[in-house]
Amino acid sequence: MAKKRILSGMRPTGKLHLGNLHGALSNWITLQNHGDYDCYYFVADWHALTSDYATTGEIRANTIEMAIDWLAAGLDPAKSTLFIQSAIKEHAELFLLLCMITPIAWLERNPTYKEMKEELSQKDLSTFGFLGYPVLQAADIIMYKAYGVPVGVDQLPHVELTREIARRFNFLYGEIFPIPEPLIAEVPKLLGMDGRKMSKSYDNAIFMSDRGDDLKNKVGAMFTDPQRQRKSDPGRPELCNVYTFHRLYSTPETVVEIAPACRSASIGCIECKRRLAGAVAEGMGPIHERRDHYVRHPEEIRAIIEDGNLRAGRVAKATLVEVRELMKISHEL
Ligand code: TRP
Ligand code: SF4
């Protein structure tokens, strides 16, 4: 029996941080290693243009940086197909065709559209491309007849729209697209050094590539329980971001030891963070080694992406043959 297909993408934001690693990426890797799925993961560089069309200077470098982090984290080209959206022109064709059947009202009521337009008010996002973002995303997904789409909750409205567009296509032209399921994993809520959500744009992130003194200093700068001003104040580990990180990186013994020690003020935050920095450095060790390897061998990255583009392209071409036929838009003259 053919394996169920999984598809997901990320916009090329450059280096990934630990929030990305324990959020989206680890979910992707779990699905890859599960064995029953055929995973397709891609860099959504056309999607980057929807909000950054005026500043495209870093998209290329960001794409490579992100691919390095994917490989370092454990995405394995022998198991997953890794590709770049703009290399598969069929995404643009399917996007165009889906545009024809997507009511504008569906796009205008998309909550992420409204939110992003307000949030990114310094950019002019009153473009056709930005409104059409979810149609391009729908094309990405149904192109591969994906059964499951691992995404964060922020992407749920887009997957919901994809489902509606797929149903509409099936109704109008014939049942060829499975209706994709969003796959939401439980992810730990990791905060940045300043206690806000970890984000590259807040300048509060610990990057996957951070190591040595940089890593130690960042861990040392992390916000702790705000009520714990002095070492003699009892702390509340359940409210402390450092403790959340311990649960990801330290041994179970350390984790059970730290909570009561914090509550009874017998361990200080400086010592607690020192131990965390050591655990993170150790846990990230294999990832850093793989990163070094790929930085030394950019030709391997190129070969991996080229191979992924070929594999994805084969599926995309087959889908478009079907779509053109059903829409009566193939003309053999
Ligand atoms: N919109 C997604 C994000 O911002 C990226 C994306 C583009 C995507 N196409 C996709 C995710 C298809 C899943 C499936 O994170
Ligand atoms: Fe947080 Fe550790 Fe300080 Fe407790 S001792 S408040 S868990 S940093």
Q: What's the structural domain count of the chain? A: 2
CB under 6 Å to ligand 2: residues? 224-225, 228, 235, 237, 240, 242-243, 258, 262, 267, 269, 272-273
Whether pLDDT at 327 is above 80: yes
Structural domain including 228 reads 210-292
CB under 6 Å to ligand 1: residues? 7-11, 44, 47, 137, 140-141, 149, 151, 155, 158
**Do both 218 and 151 map to the same domain?**
no
CATH number at residue 235: 1.10.240.10
**Do both 17 and 162 map to the same domain?**
yes
Give the ligand at the shortest distance from the Cα of 135: 1
CA of residue 17 to ligand 2 center, whole Å: 22
Task: Sort 126 into a burial class: Cβ within 10 Å, 0-12 / 13-18 / 19+.
Answer: exposed
3-state SS track over 96-112: HHHHHHCCHHHHHCCHH
Give the ligand at the shortest distance from the Cα of 262: 2
pLDDT band at 299 (very low <50, low <70, confident <90, very high): very high
pLDDT band at 127 (very low <50, low <70, confident <90, very high): very high
**Do both 233 and 264 map to the same domain?**
yes
Residue 197 lies in a domain: no
CA of residue 154 to ligand 2 center, whole Å: 30
Whether pLDDT at 133 is above 90: yes
What's residue 112's pLDDT? 87
**Do both 144 and 21 map to the same domain?**
yes
**Do both 112 and 240 map to the same domain?**
no
Atom of ligand 2 nearest to the CA of 228: 6
**Do both 184 and 218 map to the same domain?**
no
Residue 202 lies in a domain: no
Mean pLDDT, the chain, rounded, equals 96
Residue 45 lies in a domain: yes
What's residue 1's pLDDT? 74
CATH number at residue 118: 3.40.50.620
What's residue 138's pLDDT? 98
User: Which residue has the CA at smallest separation from atom 5 of ligand 2?
Assistant: 269
What's residue 16's pLDDT? 98
**Do both 160 and 246 map to the same domain?**
no
CA of residue 137 to ligand 2 center, whole Å: 41
What's residue 330's pLDDT? 87
User: Burial code of 244-256, b = ≥16 C-beta within 10 A, e = fewer?
Assistant: bbbebbbeeebbe
Dihedral angle of Cα 166, 168, 172, 178, to the nearest 10 degrees? 30
**Do both 76 and 182 map to the same domain?**
yes
